[in-house]
Structure 1
């Protein structure tokens, strides 16, 4: 099993985050990378450099105007605001179907759901290579490998077709799934992050060729608050192809595994040929967000359960933030995934 990563993914170094009326340091720190690589190596994974697949696989899921925004907005805004540190929205557009403005401030509001995705001078490099890392993991699966781990950072599952949010800019797991689908696979995306994969759900909600499943803290109690209910099961052709399994805050390993059994049954009944795991480690009991109570040993059990499907598995990194057990949680999950 290989881990894919590009050093340029460290370049996104966000500072701004608004919490309880205060500006605090954004938790998606580049320091996470060292801990995740440490955990991957401890699980016996060999690091491999990511390869460049260009813009086309990104544009298969995200609009050209959104990709252009991410790529150019810092430089464009800097020309207007010479002392600019980071691009952060001062307003949020409540409805996406209205007039699309080409001025920088209008686009900043249009392309964000919250203030957690500041963009600085080198952010686009990291965002681009995070998606390329997921695609490199997908290529590994296409080459015949049974397992691959894409250390994608920044994360992706809160990113919609053309809206950033929740530390996410491009939907890396979705990009990888679409790439695999276009090459003959029937993918299921299994999101095990503590937060609902609202961006992933939004992108695939009316489709029946990609199954989307998310296990997460009930949105009545937790971010993203406005999506992730059990009643959200898809629309149009996608009715029945989206499954949300919201959990009470603090749910322990046993409760989590019971919900995971339901998810794995749906994946089997979908006839999936590959599983893309949106791999959050923030379900851990000591994660700074304190959403769920999965133990380090519990991650190994989660990995073994997923491996028990007997399908190729591409794990794409999502959340999991700085705490003493971060690297051990990744090791545990990856060892579980490699058990079958």
Structure 2
């Protein structure tokens, strides 16, 4: 399997993370990519640089207003003269009878769902690089590869069409799926991150052509708290094209694999032409966010089941934070996937 990666992710190096009122350094650090690269090296994957696709693929899922905000945000923030070293909103409008703001402080609140997505001087460049990684991996599959892996950083599945959130700015998973739609009438997304892919769900919620399936920790006790429940099934033309499987905190391998079998059946019934896997390795028993208890061998089994769906597949890296087994878990997942192909 070919893997796509660029060092340009390093321009995004966020520091701020607010956890239950305590300010900490974010877990979404550049070192994540270093550990994932070690996992790729252990699996002997060919690593290629992404192609620069420009705004076109991003504009398929994100609003023009939002993309302008991200591109101009740091310069506007810096021009304030008395602003902090990272952009963190102090207002999040609920958008009821609201007017789009002209101030960068207002726009920052409008376009961020939470405080877990601080914007720095290199955030836009890093996010664009990650989206190019995802599109390049999707293009490899369109060009005939059976599967590809996109080592995206920053991650993307919490980003809505016009809002950042949860470490995410551009929704790499959604962008890859939209690129596959250029050729395939139907595409499925399977999100196995420990957190619900709320941004991805939001982007496709009213669309019948993209099935979104997410297996994640119960949002009543875990981020994103207000999205990701089983009753969320889509709306309008997309009703029935969204499938959430929330699992208890601490879920281990066997229970997870039972849920994955249900997800597999749902995807097969949808009959898509291609699959995007939002790969979160943060379901690990050793992940610092402590949502589930998947073992390294469990990730291999997960990869095996997903491979047996039998579709052309783009694997997009989402979560997975600093632990001694982060790279091992990637090696295990990709090994399990390739072994079943």
Tell me whether the two structures share a fold, i.e. TM-score over 0.5: yes
In the other structure, the counterpart of 2:31 is 31
Aligned to 1:118, the other structure's residue is in SS state: coil
Give the structure 1 partner of residue 335 of structure 2.
335
Tell me which residue corresponds to 2:116: 116
Partner secondary structure for residue 69 of structure 2 = helix
Change in CA separation of 1:83 and 1:131 when aligned onto 2, cut-off 3 Å: same
Contact 1:96–1:110 at 8 Å: present in 2 too?
A: no
Distance (Å, rounded) in 2 between the aligned partners of 1:97 and 1:200: 25
Q: How many Å separate the matches in 1 of 2:336 and 2:197?
A: 23
Whole-angstrom CA distance in 1 between matches of 2:36 and 2:108:
31
Q: Which residue of 2 aligns with 1:228?
A: 228
Residue 132 of structure 1 is matched in structure 2 by 132
CA distance in 1, matches of 2:128, 2:97: 26
What is the Cα deviation at residue 230 of structure 1?
A: 0.4
Matches within 5 A, 1:261-280: 261-280=261-280
Q: d(CA) in 2 for partners of 1:203 and 1:210?
A: 10
In 2, Cα distance between the equivalents of 1:98 and 1:154?
30
Q: How does 1:39-118 map to 2 (within 5 A)?
A: 39-82=39-82, 84-95=84-95, 98-118=98-118
Query: TM-score, length-normalised on structure 1?
Result: 0.98
Residue 184 (str. 1) matches residue 180 (str. 2):
no
Q: Give matches, 1:204-283, under 5 Å.
A: 204-283=204-283
Q: Give the secondary structure class of the aligned counterpart of 1:80.
A: coil
C-alpha deviation, 1:91, in angstroms: 1.2
Stretch of structure 1 that moved more, 134-143 or 178-187? 178-187
Query: Scaled by the length of structure 2, what TM-score is found?
Result: 0.98
CA RMSD of aligned residues (A): 1.0
Number of equivalences: 340
SS of 2:105's partner is: helix
For the pair 1:311 / 2:314, whether they are aligned, the reply is no
Give yes or no for contact 1:4–1:150 (8 Å, CA) kept in 2.
yes
Deviating runs (4+, > 4 A) in structure 1?
Answer: none
**Residues 1:284 and 2:245 aligned together:** no
Deviation at 1:255, TM superposition (A): 0.3
Does the Cα contact within 8 Å between 2:66 and 2:111 map onto a contact in 1?
yes
Tell me the secondary structure at the aligned position of residue 181 of structure 2: helix
Q: In 2, are the aligned partners of 1:9 and 1:127 still within 8 Å (CA)?
A: yes
CA distance in 1, matches of 2:34, 2:89: 30
Unaligned runs of 5+ in 1: none
Show the 5 A alignment for 1:2-41: 2-41=2-41
